[in-house]
Amino acid sequence: MMSEQKQCILIIDDSPMQLVALENILAPLYDTKLAKTGAEGVRIAQSTNIDLILLDLVLPDESGFDVLRQLKQSKDTMDIPVIFVTGRVSCEDEATGLNIGAVDYIRKPFTDVVVKLRVEIHLRIVAQMKFIENISLTDGLTGISNRRSFDNVVRSTWNHARRTNDCFGMLMLDIDKFKIFNETYGHLNGDICLKTVASTMSKSLTRGTDSVYRWGGEEFVIILPSTDLEGSMLVAERVRENIENTAIDLGNETTSVTISTGAGSIAPNNMDFDTHFLGFSTKVNQALFQAKNNGRNRVESI
Q: What is the mean pLDDT of residues 199-227?
A: 96
Residue 50 Cα to chain centre, angstroms: 14
153: helix, coil or strand? helix
The domain 147-301 having CATH identifier 3.30.70.270: the answer here is: yes
Give the pLDDT confidence score for residue 4 in this predicted structure.
63
Q: How confident is the model at residue 227 (pLDDT cuts 50, 70, 90)?
A: very high
- Phi-psi label, residue 251: left if phi above 0, alpha if psi -120 to 50, beta otherwise: left
The neighbour count for residue 119, using CB atoms within 10 Å, is 24
Give the pLDDT confidence score for residue 105 in this predicted structure.
93
Q: Which residues have a Cβ under 8 Å from the Cβ of 51 and sit 6 or more positions away?
A: 7, 8, 9, 80, 123, 126
Say yes or no to pLDDT of 91 above 90.
no
The Cα 50–Cα 11 span in angstroms is 10
Say yes or no to pLDDT of 270 above 90.
no
For residue 262, the cross-strand partners are: 172, 300
Which of 61-70, 116-125, 130-139 shows the lowest per-residue confidence on average (mean pLDDT)?
Answer: 130-139
* CB-based contact 302:274 (threshold 8 Å): no
The CATH 3.40.50.2300 domain(s) of the chain lie at: 8-136
The CATH 3.30.70.270 domain(s) of the chain lie at: 147-301
Give the pLDDT confidence score for residue 1 in this predicted structure.
36
Q: What is the CATH number of domain 8-136?
A: 3.40.50.2300
Catalytically active residues are: 218
Say yes or no to pLDDT of 160 above 50.
yes
Strand pairing report for 31-35 and 8-12: parallel
Q: Which residues have a Cβ under 8 Å from the Cβ of 152 and sit 6 or more positions away?
A: 137
Residue 145 Cα to chain centre, angstroms: 10
Write out pLDDT tens, residues 10-33: 999 999 999 999 999 999 999 999
